[in-house]
Chain A
């Protein structure tokens, strides 16, 4: 059974972690569920926990159609790609479900795509860490390109060793923070803010417009809205009669029943 016990042990001190082997990265947003409605035969799902890999879209307003009709896939923060990862937010560039400690079916090769086996809270999930997003809705290259660019913009913005950030801080120090309160507010924004605005423009104008053409229904949420805590990518539910949306897409269980 793919249980979370080995990934979620409490590490009290270094010696404990060394005895348990090296630390492996995984998507900490996912969780497992044992009690679910099975979609396949009992023998195929016996001993398998459902891995919840997509979530309600809490990045929109509560009573909107988008909240009712979209799901979100979350790309987690990663901390071993930069020494200053507490200052510079960086996101995992592993394909979702391909992380070193991702859930896979015991005794089988790692899953290559999202294969639902059960229904939980009215949504379909599989028994591995694979999400419907990649490669179902967007290609691996597209996903990696988006994450790499987001990471690059964030590194430019928050790099503490950047001359421009150093200059902004020194001017702030000698002006009693009037530089950031007055000059940056009314004349020219700080380097960090400008780079973060560039990131917002990249996501809203380059990425989302491209996805509108290539993968309708898939959209990257504004990173500032999520507090740079995760990259949230929404997926619209697909109508079974909609031939414009390619890929596996997401089906509501009720629509699957209608098809079958």
Chain B
């Protein structure tokens, strides 16, 4: 097991290298100068000096080598758009906002989805089942930016209960979390329902019942455990998505989180910021996938790693 994990971590290092190299080359392939303002160009000497300062006058692989060297020393550079901070500072300031919204979203949507899916599966073809199925379908087909806009319209413009955007008080977090929770809740409810129904009809469950096991024990030990596997496959990979933020939610609610940088840094060609974001997401993904695979072996001993 230790060897397996070590191998996977080495693989992750390779992936990070590849991802950063591709991103690096792509950023350099983007036409346009990150400092071009379009008006009132600086004197040529200043431009040359600036290109030198950021190393743009070097061959691209030398630039990449320098970047990797700096990153290995914990230096992710300075964002072009806010040169008074380092990239690390900026992420340290903004990620907690995203993390808080994301963590609350997971804490609310996963249990809620499981309960809804459970109710639907145990009362199959009843009105509960239909309501849950209908609701989760709706949650999957409505884009969350639309839902976010409607929530603002209803709860801030109409009822005036919550602020329409911004950050600072607990009230600010309510609408973003509701809008953000919709899709994961819908997905969890749907997959819980389907995998529970499949698991309820399995042979080993019938055997467990036939040998007179208490229904509660059957549900907990034989049904739930197997129903967990598709859940792990589908829902665990959603976690890094949620924790790295929704661009849409943060845009609509004007949250000072990480998500908006995905858009602004691409549009403004803020190379250090783009690279740092890509690496951050890649690390969170890599670790999540590793944990998912380890979790599999625990849930289903037939699955063996290596």
Asked if A pairs with B, the answer is no
